[in-house]
Amino acid sequence: MERKTQTGYLLLADISGYTSFVASTEIEHAEIAISMLLEAVIEKLKTLLTIVKLEGDAVFAYMPAEQLSNGNALHELIDHTYLTFRDSAYALHNQATCPCKACRAIPTLDLKFLVHHGDYVIQQVAGIKDLLGHDVTLIHRLAKNQVAESKGWHGYALFTNQSLESMQTNKSSFIQQTESYEHIGEVETYVKDLRVRYDEMKK
C-alpha cells in the first residue's frame, strides 16, 4: 500500500544528563524520577502535538504543518514545557525524604528540544505508529550536537533554519550554529538558552 508523504514539524524533547544520572545512582529511584518527569513533558506536549513514541529518555512528537496557524504557539509550548520540567524536577527533589544519590541528583537533569520542519511518512504496523523519512533521521541526529560543548548549555531549544522559516520567526534572538553529520552534510541551526528563559518566566 502506498504511503502518503506529509509535511510538518518534528520535535524531540530529550532529557540531558540521563545516561550519567542512571549509571551513577540507584536504578529504582532514578527510573521513577525519569518516568515522572517524562510524564510531565508528555502532558504538556500533547496539547498541541501528536506523540509518536517514548524513546528511553526522549519524547518524539510531530504536527502536520497546516495545524500550526501561528508559529508563536510552538515557541510558547516549548517554553512552558521546559518550565513544567524544571518545576517538576525541583519539586521531586524538595519532596524527597530519601537520602539516596538519585533523589539528590534530580536537579542536575535538564531538557533540550530539537525542532525541524520537513517531510515524513506515517507507518502503521500491527497498531504501532512510527514516522519514517530523511527528515525524521535528521531530527534524531540533531540530538548529538555541539551546543553543550560550545555554549555550556544543557537546557536549550535548537531549531533548524527550515523550522524557523516555516514559523516565520525572527532569528535575532537566537544564536546561529552549524552542525555537520555524515551522509547528511551541514545543517544550519538556531539555539536559545532555556535556563535563561526559565528565569525570565519565574520573575
Bridge-partner residues for 124, per DSSP?
129
CB 116, CB 167: distance < 8 Å: no
What is the homologous superfamily of the domain 5-202 according to CATH? Nucleotide cyclase, GGDEF domain (3.30.70.1230)
For residue 166, what pLDDT is reported?
97
Instruction: Decide if 194 contacts 155 (C-beta within 8 A).
Output: yes
- Spell out the domain ranges in the chain: 5-202
Q: Are 16 and 112 in contact (CB under 8 A)?
A: yes
Of the candidates 31, 23, 147, the one whose C-alpha atom is nearest the C-alpha of residue 92 is 31
Q: What is the pLDDT of residue 21?
A: 63
Local confidence pLDDT in tens for the 203 residues of the chain: 457 899 999 999 999 876 666 655 556 667 788 888 999 999 999 999 999 999 988 999 999 999 999 999 999 999 999 999 999 989 888 887 777 677 777 888 999 999 999 999 999 887 788 999 999 999 999 999 999 999 999 999 999 999 999 999 999 999 999 999 999 999 999 999 999 999 999 88
CA atoms of 153 and 165, how far apart (whole Å): 24
CA–CA separation, 11 vs 77, rounded Å? 11
0.85 cut: is pTM over it?
Answer: yes
Instruction: State the pLDDT at residue 25.
Output: 54
Query: Phi/psi at 201 (nearest 5 deg)?
Result: -70, -25
Cell 515557541 -> residue: 75
